[in-house]
Structure 1
Amino acid sequence: MATTTQNAITLKGSAAIVKEYLKYGINSILFQRGIYPPEKFDSVQKYGLTILMSTDEKIVEFLEKVLGQVEEWLARNEVEKISLVITMVHTKEVLERWDFKVHSEPTATGGGPVIDPSTAVSSKELKKIQAEIRDVMRQIAATVSYLPLLEYLCTFDVLIHTVKNCDLPEKWNETDEVQIQNAQTVQLKSFSTGLQKVETIVNYRMTD
């Protein structure tokens, strides 16, 4: 007898998909925006695209640590937004902020009550999710055509906006929202795992 394998993405599985997108998305932004020299990146194939990934050990280690924690919080639906902040090295002025907003998508069955998020599953095909992510990644690569050139030496940081009363790891500090003077905002496409929807938005400083 032929059997049908039903897709079943749990909240933990959804968190892993979102973490993976953030890893490739952030690396792509660091390359596209010229934060580090091109020779510090290697190309990999992902989502049917060629994506440039940093080979700098410190950056790889930093992102692995931060995104590992993000994944833990995502698996408990405790993340509201992840922000990639690009600042000028000398003045600390914020030039760009890439926001990845996470919305929980509660699942209901047969018009009944909403399922407990920790036990909810999504039947959305992984292939379809990855196709949506591919569209977002293409938009990230295309932003260089309209974002202002970053003419100064820049660095980056990752801020995680969680729900209140979230347990912070040691050596992690609370921080305020980062604002950009004279900001322009562009909303990119979103993708959904069926349990979590991620919107990608870039805020950048308008040049004089």
Structure 2
Amino acid sequence: MSPPTRSSISFRGSSQIISEFFEYSVNSILYQRGIYPSDDFKSVKKYGLTLLVTHDEDIKAYIRKFMTQLHKWIINDKVSTFVLVIVNKNTGETVERWQFNIAINQEEEGEQSKQKSIEDIQREIQAIIRQITASVTFLPTLEVNDYTFNILVYADSSVNLPNNNEWIDSQDSKLVNNSESVKFKSFSTNEHKIDTLVSYKLDK
């Protein structure tokens, strides 16, 4: 019997794919937007691409801690949106807002599900990562060390926040004033669909 060409991805497996995508996307954005010096990043292979990820232990631990918690919330279908905002250190103004919307795939009644292969999913993720890389061609130039980043999660009101000071309830959506928005390609598993959008401050 020939080996199957498609594999069923569980809800947990789909959640893991999304969490990894967010982690590599955050690293790519921080590198491409020059939030930290290029020397703080190293090359890794992922999705058939060469990606840049931080090797600064503090930043790496910070991102990983958030992604671990986010993964738990995605598994339990408690998150609808993940946001990375880039903020001017001096003024506190949000200059870029990277928004990733998470939707559960709804199968129509009587529709037979077609299992999506890992290879197909990775090709879709490749396309988004390439768009993030190419975004420097239209996004305003940011000076290194003048900006920092924050992570926002739109979660169900029933979620329990971890017992630390790193997650807090916020009424501030960190929107960009006088902004332009660009929608990127999406990717999907059998369980989820992720849409990506970046909003950025227009030059006056």
Give the TM-score taking structure 2 as reference length.
Answer: 0.92
| Residue equivalent to 1:147 | 139
* Corresponding position of 1:80: 80
Is residue 186 of structure 2 the alignment partner of residue 190 of structure 1? Answer: yes
Gaps of 5+ in 2: none
Change (3 A) 1:96 1:163: same
**Deviation of 1:106 (Å):** 2.5
Residue type of the partner of 1:28? S
Q: Match for residue 169 of structure 2?
A: 174
Aligned residue identity for 1:185: S
Question: Structure 1 residues 65, 141: CA separation in 2 closer, same or farther (over 3 Å shift)?
Answer: same
Report the counterpart of residue 201 of structure 1 in structure 2. Answer: 197
Corresponding position of 1:93: 93
Instruction: State the 1:190 CA deviation.
Output: 0.5
Query: What is the match of residue 36 of structure 1?
Result: 36
Matched positions, count: 200
Rounded to whole Å, the distance in 1 between the matches of 2:193 and 2:5 is 24
Rounded to whole Å, the distance in 2 between the matches of 1:98 and 1:41 is: 20
Q: Does 1:124 align with 2:124?
A: no
**Which aligned runs of 4 or more in structure 1 are off by greater than 4 angstroms?**
none
Maintained 8 Å contact 1:7/1:122: no
The residue correspondences of 1:48-67 to structure 2 (distance < 5 A) are 48-67=48-67
Q: 2:153 matched to 1:160?
A: yes
CA contact (8 A) 1:104 1:195 kept: yes
Matched, 1:16 2:12: no
Asked whether the equivalents of residues 40 and 54 of structure 1 are also in contact (C-alpha less than 8 Å), the reply is: yes
- 1:122/1:86 Cα in 2 relative to 1: closer, same or farther (>3 Å)? farther
Ranges in structure 1 where 5+ consecutive residues have no aligned partner: 113-120
8 Å contact from structure 1 (residues 80, 161) kept in 2: yes
Contact 1:122 1:193 in 2 (8 A): no
Over aligned residue pairs, what C-alpha RMSD do you find? 1.8
Residues 42 and 122 of structure 1, relative CA distance in 2, 3 Å threshold: farther
Contact 2:86 2:148 in 1 (8 A): yes
- The CA distance in 2 between the partners of 1:159 and 1:36, in whole Å, is 20
- What pairs up with 1:94-109 in 2 under 5 angstroms? 94-107=94-107
- Letter in structure 1 aligned against 2:24: Y
CA apart distance, 1:110 = 3.1
Contact 2:5 2:117 (8 Å CA) reproduced: no
Distance in 2 (CA, whole Å) between partners of 1:122 and 1:16 is 20
Q: Deviations over 1:119-145 (max 9, x none)?
A: xx9721000000000000000000000
Percent of paired sites with the same residue: 38
